[in-house]
Amino acid sequence: MAAVKPGPSGPAAPAASDTAVATPQIQLVPASAEGALDAAEEAVDLLLESGRTPGDVLVITTGEPHPWAAHELSFGEASYWAQHDARDDVFYADAAVAGRATSRPVVVVAVNGGADAVAATALPMALSRAGALLIVCGDPQQINSVLGAGV
């Protein structure tokens, strides 16, 4: 009876974990522009239920701001960004100001409207902010056309 020999254990796997910059996993959640915000909320709920801490999550919107962001901004920019810096909770940002947000392990983008140019700017920026996972909620055809490649 011949023993099965394991394949060569090259440095590929350890080297990937040793690299300083890792590419985050990308997940696409198909949704209409009208349903993208709801899809993003469901994604956040699943992340939190699976053990992610709220401070690990940044949500970016390309159309109407998330109601939380609109509410918090009513108290002023300083208070709004102080909550971001505290990293105690999920942070919601409009794509227009999301460039100011720092990296988080998970970034969720709701492509809930706005011009294609907004999504074209927001998606690469979101990818650069995502440490481990980028979740994009929206119309797959629009997202692929904006990114110029299949996601």
Does 59 score more than 70 pLDDT? yes
**94 three-state secondary structure:** strand
Per-residue model confidence (pLDDT) at position 4: 43
In DSSP terms, 26 is beta-bridged to 134
Mean of pLDDT values over 46-67: 97
Mean of pLDDT values over 56-76: 96
Per-residue model confidence (pLDDT) at position 114: 92
Does 12 score more than 70 pLDDT? no
Does 3 score more than 70 pLDDT? no
Residue 130's region, left for phi above 0, alpha for psi from -120 to 50, else beta, is beta
Per-residue model confidence (pLDDT) at position 94: 96
Does 17 score more than 70 pLDDT? no
H or E element in which residue 46 lies: helix 36-49
Amino acid letter at 116? D
109 φ, ψ (degrees, to nearest 5):
-115, 125
Per-residue model confidence (pLDDT) at position 18: 44
Residue 106: band (very low, low, confident or very high) from pLDDT cuts 50, 70, 90? very high
Alpha-carbon distance of 45 to 54, in angstroms, equals: 10
